[in-house]
Amino acid sequence: MNVKNLEKKEKNTLELTVVVASDEFEKAVNTAYVKNRSKINVPGFRKGKAPRKVIEGMYGASVFYEDALDELFQPGFNFAVESEKLNVVGRPSVTDVKINDDKTVDIKYTVAVYPEVTMGQYKGIEAPKPAVRVLKAEVEEELEKVRGRSARIQAVERAAENGDTVNIDFEGFLDGVPFDGGKDTGYDLVLGSGYFVPGFEEQLVGTKAGDEKDLDIVFPENYAEDLAGKAVVFKVKVNEVKESILPELDDEFAKDVSEFDTLEEYKANLKEEISARKKASVEASFRNQVMAKVIEGMQCDVPDAMVEERVDSTIENYNYRLSQQGMTFESYMKALGMDLDAFRENAKGSALAELQEEIALDKIAELENLEATEEELEAEYDKYAQEYGMEKDNIKAVIPAEEVAKLVKREKAAELVYSSAVAEKKKAKKEEAKEAEEKTEE
């Protein structure tokens, strides 16, 4: 075999032709004969015993060519990849096949290759990173949430108010006929929660235990198709009205809901928790914006084949996770009101974004000569073993060291980018006013 006419096309695709020698083609034809002779009946011969020349005489010299070519497609492509040291992605397609007079064969392939990458700035990237402040009102809001979860519920004889819980039996009717999903008994509904369709909870304000009431409701236009925009009647019986008794905000409350002895200590802890959440959110946003700027400055044309391959992987992961929950991908698609083509199209954006980030980090690792040490590889394998509950040696048999090393190097490249990034300096008010004035004038 030899390779000729290797030509780069757009979107990092290659066209190349592999020439298969006549003796290699003859060997493939004979292999096809051996594989298929038992399927061919030839008068005068037992099944599977007819000589190749006899079969070719009956059906033509090319009778085994199609199967022979099938035998050659993958070896021919493998030869091209190895001899030309190609870094291919996705599967190749055979675009033309020609059997020459001298019985050599020209096989033309099209295949995507790993894209060429030129990095822009990736160190010292500036991005917004606001300072974290925790307001007193935020602590009080968090405190009220905890207080609400600790509330005691008790029945009352008075009329229901917003914030009360009413225990109800109800049934919905469309044109006088009960509809599916519109009935329940002993249901606890918090008035003002907005959990039921608009108008339902509002009409129960002022009712008392034992009351029966017809509620006129019009379903929203974006509701389930069979009820969207329809006028219905709910027949409701109020079984009980209950109010929430909030605990006093004192040291005893703090002891009940936390490990702290005083309310002030508990508030201080809540402030620290809120601060930690805010810092994590700000840091995540900062890192996302930094990486977005790195990718924006990168020159790289990601092949469509890489995106399609990543989408395939996404669907496989969905299939696996859904099967663990006793669901199928088809039923999941049906629940979303989406078909496979629509899902693939929606998944392409995130697939491309993932690939761009990985490509950028791989290139940075290369430029910075980042490597994965044996200790780091072993530490990663330890994490996988713990995560999947498997022996480390079994993990090593499934996940090649090269793949783990690539992940380690990406983590190092990402840390290099993030650790060198800086928060944008806040502009002086005069400068901001000047820019605003210039924009207005434009």
Model confidence at 294: pLDDT above 60: yes
User: What pLDDT is attached to residue 38?
Assistant: 86
User: What pLDDT is attached to residue 419?
Assistant: 96
User: Which residues of the chain does CATH 3.30.70.1050 include?
Assistant: 2-113
Q: What is the pTM of this model?
A: 0.73
Q: How many Cβ atoms sit within 10 Å of the Cβ of residue 273?
A: 13
CATH among 3.40.50.300, 3.40.718.10, 2.70.98.40, 3.10.50.40 for 152-245: 3.10.50.40
Residue-averaged pLDDT of the chain = 91
420-426 long-range Cβ contacts below 8 angstroms, 24+ apart: 420/123, 420/124, 420/125, 421/124, 421/125, 421/126, 421/127, 421/286, 421/287, 421/290, 422/124, 422/125, 422/126, 423/126, 423/127, 423/128, 423/129, 423/286, 424/126, 424/127, 424/128, 424/129
User: What pLDDT is attached to residue 441?
Assistant: 37
Fold of 2-113: Alpha-Beta Plaits (3.30.70)
User: What pLDDT is attached to residue 439?
Assistant: 42
User: Which residues of the chain does CATH 3.10.50.40 include?
Assistant: 152-245
Q: How many Cβ atoms sit within 10 Å of the Cβ of residue 87?
A: 8
- Two tokens at 249? 């905000």
User: What pLDDT is attached to residue 432?
Assistant: 53
What percent of the chain shows pLDDT beyond 70?
A: 96
The pLDDT tens digits of the residues spanning 360-384 come to 999 999 999 999 999 999 999 999 9
The pLDDT tens digits of the residues spanning 34-81 come to 998 888 888 888 888 899 999 889 899 899 999 999 999 999 999 999
What's phi and psi for 169, nearest 5 deg?
A: -110, 140
Least confident of 3-12, 208-217, 407-416: 3-12
